[in-house]
Every structure is written in structure tokens, then in C-alpha cells.
């Protein structure tokens, strides 16, 4: 089900890819997913920031299912950002 959520969010441009974007936009997050083979230091950063996450399949499987042309361990769904919030 969470892969489906990520795919739908990608259609609406409501996904942050990677740990940096997740930490930078912490207040906008609605869900965070990581791959089961995510590096320990990445998991530690999420835990230190008190960000809850769900664990998905392996990175290779996720990248294939989402048809991505780059590696990614952290996928964060977020709410829409209005132009006022961007400033």
C-alpha cells in the first residue's frame, strides 16, 4: 500500500526524495518511508529528528517499482506548499 501512496504523491509532486529534503522540510511531512537496506546513519538522523517512518522493500525493488533513474533510501510525502509558506 505504501508504494501506491508514493506513486500517487509523485503524480501530484508531493514527494521529497532523500534524507536532506526530509530533514529540511520536517514540518510539512505527512508520511516517511525508508527502504529496508537504509544505512544506519540515515536511520539515526531520522530518529534524532523524532521523525517516524515505515520500512519498505529493498532499495533496488523500490527504485524498480517507482521507475526511478536514481538511488534513494528515504521517501517523504508532504502536504502541498502554498506560495506564502515558501517565503
- pLDDT (tens digit, 0 to 9) for every residue of the chain, 87 residues total? 589 999 999 999 999 999 999 999 999 999 999 999 999 999 999 999 999 999 999 999 999 999 999 999 999 999 876 534 444
Residue 23 sits in a domain of what CATH number?
A: 3.30.1330.30
For residue 87, being part of any structural domain is answered with no
Q: What is the pLDDT of residues 27-43, one digit of tens each?
A: 999 999 999 999 999 99
User: Any bridge partners for residue 77, and if so which?
Assistant: 15, 31
65 is in which domain, residue-wise?
Answer: 2-81
For residue 38, being part of any structural domain is answered with yes
Return d(Cα 87, Cα 74) in angstroms, integer: 25
Q: Give the angle subtended at the CA of 2 by the CAs of 45 and 64, to the nearest 5°.
A: 85
Put simply, whether the predicted model's pTM sits higher than 0.75 gets the answer yes
Return d(Cα 70, Cα 31) in angstroms, integer: 21
Report how many domains make up the chain.
Answer: 1
Amino acid at each position: 500500500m505504501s508504494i501506491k501512496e508514493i506513486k500517487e504523491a509523485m503524480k501530484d509532486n508531493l514527494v521529497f526524495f532523500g534524507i536532506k529534503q526530509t530533514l529540511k522540510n520536517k514540518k510539512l511531512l505527512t508520511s516517511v518511508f525508508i527502504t529496508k537496506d537504509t544505512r544506519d546513519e540515515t536511520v539515526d538522523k531520522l530518529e534524532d529528528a523524532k521523525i517516524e517512518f515505515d520500512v519498505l522493500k529493498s532499495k533496488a525493488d523500490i527504485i524498480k517499482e517507482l521507475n526511478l533513474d536514481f538511488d534513494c533510501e528515504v521517501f517523504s510525502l508532504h502536504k502541498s506548499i502554498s506560495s506564502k509558506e515558501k517565503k
